[in-house]
Chains A and B, each alone.
Chain A
């Protein structure tokens, strides 16, 4: 019988710290939040994050994160902190909050968050003690010491002292992390483009992320607060305690409790309506009913509900475990940015946010709107939501170690599917109560028809032009193979000349087609309505048409452009006004040596008017009664552009008119003053 060999043992290289610390977490805000969560799990009521930055080189800058939680003894530190991957919280899922004694469910479980310090800076000093009378334990980490691949992790000494107090800590107990030699520039703005809804500065973005860290709305943890301090001169809106987001004033609040039952999946749905919506919809301010997603025939109390749950089907069982959620809907004129509300559906476990769900449209709201067009009234920027899970009841929903989200398993799929199904139901409620009543007017029907057509058209056009571009590239690459032959002495001169001509002409045509394709790909087809200033559209049209107008020798004149606000999809107005300007420019260029197009945007007799005039030949004899009907244009070309422009303006309930003037043609677009009111159903 063979004697068994002495077994092997894994011995992690010291360099593993680099991968688990410095290179595992991409976002430095996530690394800071890991320490805030550690304080939360230590039963702290307060965490203070202090940045010492002003006038210092990065190596001298500091981040000091202090909490008034339970702190650690030397033995506890050795047993827990010094063993990456070990977490007492796996077995001990609850801690007592220091001041109140209330129980709190812990959020960490991987034992890796502590290593995130390496993402923030090259050096970490930890100070911790459990009581004011105990001596501080001070432990030092210099992460560069762990870069030696030849050494194992246990060969790197971790120096510590007992009795040395932190140089500055917000509290006289708990833990204080001092991170130095910072790897990220925290002062000033984040480089690159602005991100809609996000602060310009790193500290501002950190504050935004911390505002979302705990549940907020109407169910936040009153026993926990986070503050930011820094020494930079501009302290506006960043320094100070951070309040979780408050429950916003919204016309609709939709709350669900999802659970397994003998019948399948049971959803308790509660809809709350604002007083205005209650009055206008003739519905009660609060409705509550329970539906079963597997047996739609038993569902709901109303006709609409039964119809909706039939569509819901059975979303793959509830392998994720029970969960609850709350959603707030904001109509187009209630911009979430102006309300100080981030939009998105955020995920919370035991009251603490699970990154990165929220801003990333993980429930596919935009795609749902695109596929159902006008029948899906909720756009991503019109929704705030929170989905709430717990460690105890949703064990299959586990975090990935890099904090990039949950492991995508069957349970996660079930969570997403049920949430999407419920959002569809919420959208149907809004559609039936808020949107459909507006469809009785012919102009409204036209508007929604146009919206559906444009949404679908945008997707189809982009898909088709992308398909076209790939073979164009290949054709261009093949044509390029002919170029060496144009100078080949083995080919007769006449043939070389033909090859050159064919190649040059073909390349020119390919370039023309490719430019048009590039234009289509760059054009945004975002048809989400919003309130905006017409001046911004005229600015865009002026910039966009300048090259074409210059080629035609046409001057664009701003006759009178005042700041006026309209509600609708900005892209639709841009396309329509651009069409009027180019149409007028072509007509003027054919008629006069000093061609001009002028734009006016102003309020006339209480109506918003956008007027585009040209000094062309005007409408000729025999022009149709309705020049927008297609097949005709004032420049003598095809009229498809004018027809499209009118379709686009239907999205604003606006109806353009085109007529001859003393010296050319004039297109007047009047926006009904009540369009805002009507689209909101008020």
Chain B
């Protein structure tokens, strides 16, 4: 079985370059982009099984909202939120209804992400609901009261950086 394809969204260029090299050397398919618009474009082309997004994207929108938007396009996609600045373990508890896992950005992140790739690998074999995907693609950004609330809490709980 082919390994899951991975989409990584992070505006830390050093990290996405290192992650891309790491994945390439291991024979994994990883597309890395820096912002929201590029992520949606890339996802619509690559239809990735695993999507990993940083909480704060460069254009002040959040990776949490991006992942929620992608989930609406392809509900079976495995979604991982990462962050280096969220203040405590609240993200895992709060974001649980929108993402499959929260991981802090630590030195062992790649090890954790490889485990996520393993989990996502069997998603590739599942049939896609193209109609749902097409409908979801019409709306660029998801509107959801619970998401607004969680996003506001997480933005408030991060350090003032």
Task: Give chain A's interface residues, CB within 8 Å of chain B.
Answer: 23, 26-28, 184, 192-193, 370, 459, 462-463, 466, 469-481, 484, 507, 510-511, 514, 518, 521-522, 524
Contact status of A511 and B110, CB under 8 A, knowing A28-B145, A462-B160, A470-B84: no
B85 interfacial by beta-carbon distance below 8 Å = yes
Contact B105 A26 (CB under 8 A): no
B60 within 8 Å of A (CB atoms): no
A473→B109 contact, CB < 8 A: yes
Residues in B with CB closer than 8 Å to A524 are: 87
Can you give 7 A-B contacts (C-beta < 8 A)? A192-B94, A370-B160, A459-B160, A473-B109, A476-B108, A476-B110, A522-B88
Q: A-facing mask of B141-152, CB < 8 A → 1, else 0?
A: 001010011100
Q: For residues 75 through 118 of chain B, which have their beta carbon under 8 Å from a beta carbon of chain A?
A: 84-85, 87-88, 90, 94, 104-111
Closest to B148 in A: A26
Binding site for A on B (CB under 8 A): 12, 14-15, 18-19, 21-22, 25-26, 84-85, 87-88, 90, 94, 104-111, 143, 145, 148-150, 153, 159-161
How distant is A374 from chain B, measured CB to nearest CB, in Å? 18
Cβ 8 A contact of A507, one of B22, B105, B108, B160: B108
The main secondary structure of chain A at its interface with chain B is: helix
Known contacts A27-B145, A466-B85; A510/B161 CB under 8 A: no
- On whether the beta carbons of A477 and B148 are closer than 8 Å, the reply is no
B109 with A26: CB separation less than 8 A? no
Contact across chains for B15 and A477 when beta carbons are under 8 A apart:
yes
Question: Which residue of B is nearest A521, CB measured?
Answer: B159
Residues of A contacting B12 in the complex (Cβ-Cβ under 8 angstroms): 470, 473-474
**Cβ of B109: which chain A residues have Cβ within 8 Å of it?**
473, 476-477
Extra pairs beyond A466-B161, A469-B84, A480-B108 (12, CB < 8 Å): A26-B145, A27-B145, A192-B150, A473-B84, A473-B107, A474-B18, A476-B106, A478-B21, A481-B25, A511-B107, A514-B106, A522-B88
Give the docked Cα–Cα distance between A480 and B25 (Å): 11
Check A466 against B159 for contact (C-beta < 8 Å).
yes
B161–A477 touching, CB < 8 Å:
no
CB distance from B144 to the nearest CB of A (A): 8
Bound form: Cα–Cα A510–B111 in Å? 14
Q: Which B residue sits closest to A524, measured CB to CB?
A: B87
**Closest 3 CB pairs between A and B?**
A476-B107, A510-B107, A477-B18
**Is A472 within 8 A of B107, CB to CB?**
yes
Q: Is the CB of A522 within 8 A of B107?
A: no
CB <8 Å contact, B26 and A473: no
Given contact pairs A466-B84, A480-B110, A184 touches B18 in the complex (Cβ within 8 A): no
Q: Tell me the smallest distance from the CB of B82 to a CB of chain A, in Å.
A: 9
Nearest Cβ on chain A to B134's Cβ, whole angstroms: 12
A141 to B: closest C-beta gap in Å:
20
User: Which residues does chain A contribute within 8 Å of B143, judged by CB atoms?
Assistant: 23, 26
Residue of A nearest to B159 (CB): A462
B24, closest chain A residue (CB): A481
Distance in Å: Cβ of A49 to nearest Cβ of chain B: 19
Whether A477 pairs with B110 at a CB distance below 8 angstroms is yes
CB distance from A487 to the nearest CB of B (A): 12
Roughly how many angstroms separate A507 CA and B94 CA in the complex, as a whole number? 29
| Cβ contacts under 8 Å, A470 to chain B | 12, 14-15, 84
- When the two chains form their complex, are residues B105 and A469 in contact, meaning their CB atoms are under 8 A apart? yes
CA distance A86 to B160 in the complex (A): 42
| Complex CA distance for A469 and B83, rounded to whole angstroms | 11
Contacts known (A481-B21, A521-B159); A474 close to B14, Cβ less than 8 A: yes
A478 to B15 alpha-carbon distance, docked (Å): 9
Chain B: minimal CB distance from A241 (Å): 28
Determine if A480 and B22 form an interchain contact, defined as CB atoms under 8 angstroms apart.
yes
Q: CB-CB < 8 A to A477: which residues of B? A: 15, 18-19, 22, 109-110
Given A26-B148, A462-B161, decide whether A478 and B18 contact each other with a Cβ distance below 8 A: yes
Once bound together, how far apart are the Cα atoms of A470 and B104, in whole Å?
12
**A193: contacting residue among B84, B90, B108, B159, CB under 8 A:** B90
B26, B145, B148 — most chain A CB neighbours (10 Å): B145
Whole-angstrom distance between the Cβ of A522 and the nearest chain B Cβ? 5
CB pair B107–A514 under 8 Å, yes or no, is yes
Query: Are A475's CB and B88's CB within 8 A?
Result: no
Q: How far is the CB of B151 from chain A (nearest CB, A)?
A: 10
Contact A521 B149 (CB under 8 A): no
A595 to B88, CA, bound (A): 31
Distance in Å: Cβ of B124 to nearest Cβ of chain A: 23
CA distance A471 to B13 in the complex (A): 10
Q: For A511, what are the chain B residues with a Cβ–Cβ distance below 8 Å?
A: 106-108
Q: In the bound complex, what is the Cα–Cα distance between A27 and B19 (angstroms)?
A: 39
Contact B108 A463 (CB under 8 A): no
Interchain CB contact under 8 A, B88 and A463: no
Residues of B within 8 A of A481 (CB): 18, 21-22, 25
Give chain B residues whose Cβ lies under 8 Å from the Cβ of A507. 107-108
Report Cα–Cα, A333/B161, bound state, in Å: 30
In chain B, what residue has the closest Cβ to A481?
A: B22
C-alpha gap A480/B85 in the complex (Å): 22
Find chain A residues with CB under 8 A from B104 CB: 518
A272 to B161, CA, bound (A): 38
Q: Which partner residue on chain A sits nearest B82 by CB separation?
A: A473
A493 CB, min distance to chain B CBs, angstroms: 21
Residues of A within 8 A of B153 (CB): 192-193
Residue of B nearest to A370 (CB): B160
Residues of A contacting B94 in the complex (Cβ-Cβ under 8 angstroms): 192-193
Distance in angstroms between the alpha carbons of A556 and B18 in the assembled complex: 45
